[in-house]
Structure 1
Amino acid sequence: MDDRALLDGIRMIVGEKETTDDCSVLAVGDRFLVMTTDMLHEMTDFPAGMTDHEIGWMAAAVTLSDIASMGAEPADLLMAVGLDRPERLAGITDGAADCCRSVGARLAGGDIDRHTELTIVSTAIGFVAGDRILRRSGARPGDLVCVTGLPGAAEAGLKGDPRFWKNLITPIPRVREGIAFAEGGATAMMDLSDGIVLSLYDLSRASGVGFSLDPALFPRIPGMPDPEATDLFLYGGGDFELIATIPEDRFPIPGVDATVIGVVTTEMAILSGGHPVPPRGYAHRWE
């Protein structure tokens, strides 16, 4: 069983709407307050060789990425740190604070306790105008599908390509791009932490649409031969880029470096080059 299957088992408790987007949403006047939380463990989530500063940055970035995916502006981040060694706290806190400052957010506190394995829970809030929020449920047939950055780069770094080590350990939350997508007329969006294909399955479920991708359009890892490069692009996790749908007449978005990789379709199928692709990517699994 993976985390998506596990989530399906509790949707009836929490609610379908509450378990669909990257963030929970609360109306506050003419704005929405968006909230999200993530848990990271050293053995599972922090590759060997990372400094404590890099660990703090990553822990903040993965959560701020969810705020970005809603088209929102981040405000505060709280961090609960289960420490295996107390001397690590200063470096982790400094890294998280640097990441927050890079996107105009504030590291606003948290909690500390003792753990046998370093464990960090980061919780972020942000705000977005009521007519600018981007959910997973707005994609429409005929929209373009586009991505930021170079999906697959983080996993290439994990596999040992030194060119992309920083993509893996210090991801950049795409807050500026998320806001620009929202202001530019995008219809749906989420982040790419679990890979393109799994993200498209999530968008398909939320929007009731399908997707047809054109491999000729994929930005691939330079110097990597196919089919490895295409597989990494489609299924690699850990990039924290954005995938968005947008009407053709609204693309490109000014100031956003994004690549069109396909179109939204009526039939609820995920195709690449006309062939179905399996729901594969990064997922937590229980045997």
Structure 2
Amino acid sequence: MDDRELVKMIGGIIGTDTVEDDCAKIPFGDDYIILSTDMLHETTDFPTGMTDWQIGWMSAAVTISDIASDGAVPLGLLLAAGLDRPERLKGIMQGAKACCDEYGASLIGGDVDAHSELTIVTTGIGRVEKENYTGRKGALPGDLVCIVGDPGYAQAALDGDARYRDYLLIPKPFVYEGRELSKAGVSSMMDVSDGLALSLYDLADLNGVGFEIDSGKLPKTLPQDYVLYGGGDFGLLFTCEESILRSLEVGATVIGRVISDAGVFVDGKTVERRGYVHKWD
């Protein structure tokens, strides 16, 4: 069993529409309040050698990236830390605050307790105009499939390529780009922190469509396996009409098209459904 199977079970209890996105949304006048929460553990989420400052930054960035994928502005962040050693808290909070400051959010509180393994939970609050909200649902056959960011860099760093170390340890959410994409009217959007291939499958399943990806349009700086299956990146995957792409002023790369047939394909061949997931035996 993996985390996606558990999410389906949760959807059966609280409603499938509530688990279609990484974020929840609450109507508030002409806006939506966007809420997202993430839990990170030292042994599974923080690479060996990370400083406490980097851990704090990453913990904030994970949640801010989810908020950005809805086209929202991050407003505030709560951080709860289960500490194996209390002296680690200062560096963690300094790193989280630096990330919040970078993206215009406030670190506004949280909780602290003792824990056998360092565990951090971040809960983010954002805001987006209702007309600019962009979730995962909305992709249509004929739309372009595009990415913002550099899929595979974080995995390459995790495997020892020092050239990409900052992509892994100090990830940069695409807040500005998410806002611009949502205002332009892209049809669907999500971040790719679990890997490009798995994100494509998530988006395809939700929309009842498929994706045909052109290998010639994927980034060439890394082997294709890194680009498709590497986790830990904070890029944005989105779909849109071709006319919308021409009006964008963000660094997006077209990698394929939405098709009516179910599945994810690269050059006509089925892509493995794999990426970063939590599993239970």
TM-score of the aligned structures, taking structure 2 as reference length: 0.98
Distance, in Å, in 2 between the alignment partners of 1:268 and 1:127 is 33
Q: Which residue of 2 aligns with 1:78?
A: 78
Q: The residue matched to 1:151 in structure 2 has which SS?
A: coil
Q: The residue matched to 1:167 in structure 2 has which SS?
A: helix
Distance, in Å, in 1 between the alignment partners of 2:75 and 2:24 is 15
Matches within 5 A, 1:69-218: 69-218=69-218
Distance, in Å, in 2 between the alignment partners of 1:282 and 1:170 is 18
Q: Which residue of 1 aligns with 2:16?
A: 16
Q: Deviations over 1:208-236 (max 9, x none)?
A: 2111000000013x3x5xxxx11111111
The answer to whether structure 1 residue 65 and structure 2 residue 65 are counterparts is yes
Q: Is the 8 A contact 2:36 2:67 kept in 1?
A: yes
Distance, in Å, in 2 between the alignment partners of 1:151 and 1:95 is 24
The answer to whether structure 1 residue 232 and structure 2 residue 218 are counterparts is no
Q: Deviations over 1:66-111 (max 9, x none)?
A: 0000000000100000111111111000000000011100001100
Q: Which residue of 2 aligns with 1:270?
A: 264
Unaligned ranges ≥5, structure 2: none
Distance, in Å, in 2 between the alignment partners of 1:91 and 1:253 is 42
Change (3 A) 1:199 1:253: farther
Residue type at the aligned position of 1:94: Q
The answer to whether structure 1 residue 245 and structure 2 residue 220 are counterparts is no
Distance, in Å, in 1 between the alignment partners of 2:111 and 2:211 is 42
Q: CA RMSD in A?
A: 1.0
Residue type at the aligned position of 2:169: I
Q: Is the 8 A contact 1:180 1:253 kept in 2?
A: no
The alpha-carbon deviation at position 253 of structure 1 amounts to 5.0
Q: Is the 8 A contact 2:8 2:16 kept in 1?
A: no
Percentage identity across aligned positions? 52
The alpha-carbon deviation at position 255 of structure 1 amounts to 3.0
The answer to whether structure 1 residue 285 and structure 2 residue 279 are counterparts is yes
The alpha-carbon deviation at position 14 of structure 1 amounts to 1.9
The alpha-carbon deviation at position 205 of structure 1 amounts to 1.8
Q: Which residue of 2 aligns with 1:257?
A: 251
Q: Is the 8 A contact 2:149 2:234 kept in 1?
A: no
Q: Is the 8 A contact 1:181 1:253 kept in 2?
A: no
Q: Is the 8 A contact 1:57 1:98 kept in 2?
A: yes
Distance, in Å, in 1 between the alignment partners of 2:119 and 2:51 is 15
Change (3 A) 1:253 1:111: farther
Q: Which is further off, 170-179 or 245-254?
A: 245-254
Q: Is the 8 A contact 2:2 2:278 kept in 1?
A: yes
The alpha-carbon deviation at position 139 of structure 1 amounts to 0.7
Q: Deviations over 1:171-219 (max 9, x none)?
A: 1011101001001121100000111111111111221211100000001
Distance, in Å, in 1 between the alignment partners of 2:174 and 2:137 is 20
The alpha-carbon deviation at position 2 of structure 1 amounts to 1.2
Distance, in Å, in 2 between the alignment partners of 1:252 and 1:72 is 22
TM-score of the aligned structures, taking structure 1 as reference length: 0.96
Q: How many residues align?
A: 281
Residue type at the aligned position of 2:114: R
Q: Is the 8 A contact 2:136 2:203 kept in 1?
A: yes
Distance, in Å, in 1 between the alignment partners of 2:71 and 2:8 is 26
Change (3 A) 1:153 1:253: farther
